[in-house]
Structure 1
Amino acid sequence: MNPEDPQIEEISAETLESVFGVLLTQIQTILESLLRPWMAYQVLIAIGVFALAHVLAVLVGPRFDTWLRSREGWPKWRLRTGLIILRRMRMIIFVCLIWIVVLVMREATWPSRSYLLAIIANLSSAWLFIAFATRLIGNPLLRSSARYGAWIWVTLSILNLTDETQTVLDGIALNLGETRITLWLIIKAVVLLAVLIAMARLIAGASTASIRKNQDISPSMQVLAIKFLQVLLYGLAFFLGLRLVGVDLTGLAVLSGAIGVGLGFGLQKVVSNLVSGVIILLDKSIKPGDVISLGQTFGWINSLGARYVSVVTRDGKEYLIPNEDLITGQVVNWSHSNDFVRLDIYFGTAYNDDPHKVREIAIEAAQTVDRVLDFKPPVCHVVGFGDSSVDYILRFWIKDPTGGLTNIRGNVYLALWDAFQKNGISIPFPQREVRMLDGAPMSSKTVLD
């Protein structure tokens, strides 16, 4: 054990004892001042103002709620602001009333008679402002942490206890070699990182909305730009926060290099998927909204992730396909270079039906279906003479593969059925005749065979 450690612990204990002594003295002074008669009067006035604010909130709140519900055409941010005002109605009324009382008492009597009321007014105003400001933070945990942390710090600042509190927190320390980690340093680091990450999140959200509105950027490049921007902003916020706190980043760089080598061997598949995702975004082979087929999976791309691609099928199933499979496997992209897709359906008619007439009827029937393109007209060809029918192929084009392929084929088949029934075209089916030779014996065994 290092012989200097006991000395360090003793000094820290003495420092903490002196700091707590100062803090207790301040608290004792505040309590003694509260016991003075004019301070007690101010406490009673504050309680009365709070009760009046509660009564007014009970009376005004329902009417404001009814009025707010009638604002159907308002934007969402206005409705959210109105909802926050409704929830904080009592505090808003209390802040207005307490400041009116403070201003009146400052004009009517000595400043000391409104000293405590001014502190209460400042505290309630600061708490109310923090409650509104922290609503901009989307994460509930981060919002609550920022709100309560700001309330504590504002309260200490108004009561002039920040120096004593900082000294107490700075006295609680952990010595690791030449590095001294204090509780104050940890709190400052957490607050700075939270603020910087919140700012990075806000900037990233605004930039994401702007990038998505830009029609000149392809969907795949939009995803790549958004991912790159998020990594850049969050990484900059993290390292800038550590730098502002005073953490030496040299050792962190060496440590991150060693960790990176270890993760490179242990997470080869993850790294492969990450690199494959970047390649997919760069070469624009697939993008959100494309219709693809991969093995037995057929659907449209919902989103491109860092590790996988989300593909939604027609039956509502969402498949998370690793990016590596899309790079190494054979993928059918129905809408890669354009949205035009040609579909083929097969059918047969009886031999006594005129093939020329059948072809004309089939083309006209396909053209009556909504999604079949007119400027790429359908074609019909004879492809063979089967055992029971003349076989045809009908080819037509569509422009919206995201609308489904099976349903459009079914609609064309129904149109063919209706057209054939109307024009007397028959669709044959296999038939078999069994003939018994004259003189052949009949038995149950022969029938069974």
Structure 2
Amino acid sequence: MNEFFSPERLAELGGFAYQWILVNVLVLDSAVQLAIVVAAWGIARWSSRRLRPQLERLRSRPGTSRVIDISKPLLLPLIWLVLQWLAIATASTMAWADRLLITVASLLTAWVAIRLVSHLAKHDLLSKAFTLVAWSIAALNILDLLDPTIAVLDAIAITLGTLRISVFTVVQSTLALAVLLWIAMYLTRVLEARIRTVTALSPSVQVLFAKSLKTVLIGLAILIAIDSVGIDLTALAVVGGAIGLGIGFGLQKVIGNLISGVILLLDKSIKPGDVIAVSGTYGWVTALGGRYVSVVTRDGVEHLIPNETLISERVENWTHTHNQTRLKLDVGVHYDTDVRRAIDLCTEAAGEVDRVLDDPEPKCLLVGFGDSSVELQVRFWIADAHNGVTNVKSPVLLRIWDKFKAEGIEIPYPQRDLHLRSGAQLVTPAFERESSLA
């Protein structure tokens, strides 16, 4: 250790470093490349300042805010990167030195890619993994080790018939699939948001288009990733047949729910926002999935009901063709009551509640004579069943209560008449007689 830090050793290392700088840095080629890098940075900086106001003017257009927020911080490095690759292409054509240009371009490419993914990716793990891969590729490219590394990874391979699978092929296909799936999912979210703004399409058709688009994009991403690594797609026919056979036997319920979901979307019998009752669950539909329908009750509990259940069982859809729903309330009054006056009070009470519709107007009918009361039924309509039903019935009943109290109308208790048969002898059980004699 002392020998390593001795004055002679340090002087030798300093001289080596000085000679390397003279040969590789303080030369005309390096100075020219450094000047090109600085000039490209200056042009990119000037251009980005001029383009930022132009981007801000586009913010008023629908769907552009997210793109502008991502593009603004990347304007300078993107323009700089384009200029660097133009300089590299020119230097390659003219047989000039381009080592420094390639180094700067590699670093810029990795940096732009990392910044772009960090803005778009929602998961930190994905962003960190991509950052590691990007910097590793950039470092290998700068050190001229990228091609040797690829050769080593490609040499480790196995052969299955005519198909050759190497470590490099697996890594390449995994990276390609990850990137393409990420692009497909991002495009799906963007296009789905655009589809939802099209008012000419019903909610069920919007969901059908969004699901179909997602399936197509993911399928294309998988096929492109497989084709990009040189795997013959025709070889997938046998694999697809085997998968189809497995699906037919083992995934009947899953496939049945998927097909039922498509049927629900096509016939528009159930759509987001509908108020339905099925299998003892009452609530409104919040989402239509490939396997289930999400129904949220008034208690805030979300029920995931399989699509097949909605096809095979009876479903009450309160808002299928229109939003109006009729509610009924049973009210009983005493036999001594002026029934016509009670009917008028019930009608007035229902009409005074805000959510009760004026057209059709509320009605109160005499529906029968009960054992203890005259039976009335209040009927009224609402147009927002998704906001709840009980919270409409309660105000109506409270107003009826107040009006009955003010008018002295009595709501009777259940009554029973007891008749005693005269002349009947009361018989005392034998065990009670014996206890009394004792």
* Interval containing the TM-score (normalised by the shorter chain): 0.7 to 0.9
Secondary structure of the structure 1 residue equivalent to 2:404: helix
- Out of 288, 309, 318, the residue aligned to residue 304 of structure 1 is 288
Match of 1:223 in 2: 207
How far did 1:36 drift?
2.1
CA contact (8 A) 2:188 2:213 kept: yes
Instruction: State yes or no: 1:351 paired with 2:335.
Output: yes
How far did 1:163 drift?
2.0
Match of 1:23 in 2: none
User: Identity over aligned residues, as a percent?
Assistant: 43
More RCO (CA 8 Å, sep 6+): 1
Cα distance in 2, alignment partners of residues 39 and 77 from structure 1: 48
Match of 1:36 in 2: 17
- Out of 170, 181, 184, the residue aligned to residue 168 of structure 2 is 184
Cα distance in 1, alignment partners of residues 377 and 251 from structure 2: 51
Secondary structure of the structure 2 residue equivalent to 1:36: helix
Superposed, 1:363-442 pairs within 5 Å as: 363-432=347-416
How does the TM-score come out when normalised to structure 1? 0.71
Amino acid at match of 1:294: V
Amino acid at match of 1:187: V
How far did 1:177 drift?
3.0
Cα distance in 1, alignment partners of residues 233 and 21 from structure 2: 54
Superposed, 1:132-151 pairs within 5 Å as: 132-135=115-118, 136-151=120-135
Deviations 1:247-306 (A, max 9, x none): 011111221112202221222121111111110110000011111111321111121111
Instruction: State yes or no: 1:324 paired with 2:308.
Output: yes
Match of 2:86 in 1: none
Match of 2:57 in 1: none
CA contact (8 A) 1:193 1:237 kept: yes
Instruction: State yes or no: 1:233 paired with 2:217.
Output: yes
- Relative to structure 1, the CA distance from residue 359 to residue 245 in structure 2 (aligned partners, 3 Å threshold; closer, same or farther) is same
Instruction: State yes or no: 1:290 paired with 2:271.
Output: no
- Relative to structure 1, the CA distance from residue 315 to residue 430 in structure 2 (aligned partners, 3 Å threshold; closer, same or farther) is same
Amino acid at match of 1:129: V
Superposed, 1:10-409 pairs within 5 Å as: 36-37=17-18, 125-135=108-118, 136-409=120-393
- Relative to structure 1, the CA distance from residue 173 to residue 437 in structure 2 (aligned partners, 3 Å threshold; closer, same or farther) is closer
CA contact (8 A) 1:385 1:391 kept: yes
**Number of residue equivalences:** 360
Give the root-mean-square deviation of aligned CA atoms.
Answer: 3.8
Amino acid at match of 1:183: V
How far did 1:145 drift?
2.9
How far did 1:444 drift?
10
How far did 1:79 drift?
12
- Relative to structure 1, the CA distance from residue 436 to residue 200 in structure 2 (aligned partners, 3 Å threshold; closer, same or farther) is closer
Consecutive unaligned residues in structure 1, runs of 5 or more: 1-31, 43-74, 86-91, 93-111
Cα distance in 2, alignment partners of residues 180 and 124 from structure 1: 33
- Relative to structure 1, the CA distance from residue 33 to residue 361 in structure 2 (aligned partners, 3 Å threshold; closer, same or farther) is farther
CA contact (8 A) 2:204 2:265 kept: yes
Consecutive unaligned residues in structure 2, runs of 5 or more: 1-12, 25-63, 78-96, 430-438
How far did 1:174 drift?
1.6
Query: Which one is further off, 32-41 or 368-377?
Result: 32-41
Cα distance in 2, alignment partners of residues 37 and 122 from structure 1: 26
Query: Which one is further off, 309-318 or 233-242?
Result: 309-318
- Relative to structure 1, the CA distance from residue 209 to residue 432 in structure 2 (aligned partners, 3 Å threshold; closer, same or farther) is same
How far did 1:383 drift?
0.9
Amino acid at match of 1:160: D
Cα distance in 2, alignment partners of residues 402 and 34 from structure 1: 83
Amino acid at match of 2:256: S
CA contact (8 A) 2:163 2:231 kept: no
Deviations 1:13-54 (A, max 9, x none): xxxxxxxxxxxxxxxxxxx99962466999xxxxxxxxxxxx
Deviations 1:54-84 (A, max 9, x none): xxxxxxxxxxxxxxxxxxxxx9969987xx9
Secondary structure of the structure 1 residue equivalent to 2:266: helix
Query: Which one is further off, 176-185 or 398-407?
Result: 176-185
